[in-house]
């Protein structure tokens, strides 16, 4: 129970409870039974800001499985809104931050996929870094500052391309 709402998923018929739980406590997704499935707009989420003040962005605003993540000028659109908590980073469409193919391979593209609890969708956010599968960090390719720069998985090195802030 959280705030009087049972932490059930929408497919059980308790969408109102999950929505209310997410609205009340954006950072307590685990207590709410995880992110909702289906076409859901993230309301009141954070921007994840990286190198050069660019935001973590779902390319083209898509919410389909495997949509690449890039950096882009911050514009507060739904494709730049993220809920962070419970070991997950959830974006547009209620989909999760993931890596292409689900393996801890250096240089693999970060993508948005339906949340399924896979190890590649588990993230630890600490000291300005976002650490995922294999202990690798979310990284801006070549520490480039600009729009449409791919976001990848790389060995954690503390460089500016791996520094992120929630706003």
Tens digit of pLDDT at every position of the chain (167 positions): 222 222 222 232 322 222 223 322 333 333 334 444 433 444 468 999 999 999 999 999 988 789 999 999 999 999 999 999 999 999 999 999 999 999 999 999 999 999 999 999 999 998 999 999 999 999 999 999 999 999 999 999 999 999 999 99
Q: Which tokens sit at 32?
A: 């709410």
Is residue 31 within 8 Å of residue 18, measured between CB atoms? no
pTM recorded for the entire structure: 0.75
In Å, how far from its chain's centre is CA 11?
22
- For residues 1 and 77, give the distance between their C-alpha atoms in angstroms, rounded to a whole number: 32
Q: Which tokens sit at 65?
A: 């499985």
């Amino acid at each position: 129970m959280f705030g009087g709402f049972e932490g059930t998923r929408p497919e059980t018929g308790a969408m109102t409870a999950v929505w209310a739980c997410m609205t009340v406590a954006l950072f307590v997704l685990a207590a709410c039974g995880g992110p909702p499935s289906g076409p859901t707009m993230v309301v009141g989420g954070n921007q994840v800001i990286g190198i050069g003040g660019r935001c973590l962005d779902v390319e083209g605003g898509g919410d389909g499985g495997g949509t690449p993540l890039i950096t882009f000028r911050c514009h507060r659109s739904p494709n730049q809104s993220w809920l962070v908590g419970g070991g997950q980073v959830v974006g547009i469409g209620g989909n999760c931050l993931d890596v292409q193919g689900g393996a801890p391979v250096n240089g693999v593209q970060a993508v948005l996929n339906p949340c399924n609890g896979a190890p590649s969708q588990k993230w630890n956010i600490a000291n300005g870094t976002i650490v995922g599968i294999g202990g690798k960090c979310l990284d801006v390719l070549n520490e480039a500052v600009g729009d449409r720069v791919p976001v990848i998985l790389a060995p954690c090195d503390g460089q500016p391309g791996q520094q992120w802030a929630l706003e």
